[in-house]
Amino acid sequence: MNNSRMDKRGHVPTFLLLIGAIVLVVSALFSFAIFENNSEELSSEISDMVREVEFKQAYVEKILELAVNEAVLEAEEQDFVESFKRKFLSEVASRNPGDDRFGNFFVKIERGEFGVYEEPEREGVYSIEIREIFVDSAFGVNEMRRYFNLEARFNKEGILDDANP
């Protein structure tokens, strides 16, 4: 008679495990049923942000190239670097859309936060550097910001191709 009572107590933990498993399965099925699968929409938003950031960076790089080439053509031979800086500021200002769509590029140029110098190892070759530029994009609660530095090498004729200096 004592053995029969022990056998019944052994079924209680098994029964509790069965109840626990059923609860877990039902809660998992409920989670699947109410889950809104918007991963395609989220993926599309992120792809759009990446494309926008890439476009803005390419735009800023092109503005730099155009402004450098124009400033080189208009700069005076005497005191070339200072003349170049003034013309460069003017060229960039003429292309400024007047807002912060393109990050801090135009603000850095307006504040003079860039360096122009003649390369010591190559006479007549100059560099312009602008550090810590950012462009950003936002869709909903998602936000992306890319930081980069810009540098261009040029002489008194225009921008130099790095492959063929």
Distance of CA 150 to the CA centre of its chain: 14
pLDDT tens-place string over residues 14-73: 888 889 999 999 998 888 777 766 666 667 888 889 999 999 999 999 999 999 999 999
If asked whether residues 19 and 72 sit together in one domain, one would say no
Question: Quick check: 89 pLDDT over 80?
Answer: yes
User: Model-level pTM?
Assistant: 0.71
Domain holding 88, by residue range, is 54-165
Asked if residue 49 is part of any domain, the answer here is no
* Domain count across the chain: 2
CA distance 117 to 21: 72
Burial 1-28 (b: 16+ CB within 10 A, else e): eeeeeeeeeeeeeeeeeeeeeeeeeeee
If asked whether residues 114 and 74 sit together in one domain, one would say yes
Whether the CB-CB separation of 107 and 74 falls below 8 Å is answered with no
Of residues 159 and 164, the one with the higher pLDDT is: 159
Asked if residue 28 is part of any domain, the answer here is yes
Question: Quick check: 132 pLDDT over 90?
Answer: yes
Whether the CB-CB separation of 125 and 165 falls below 8 Å is answered with yes
Per-residue pLDDT, averaged over 116-145, amounts to 91
Asked if residue 42 is part of any domain, the answer here is no
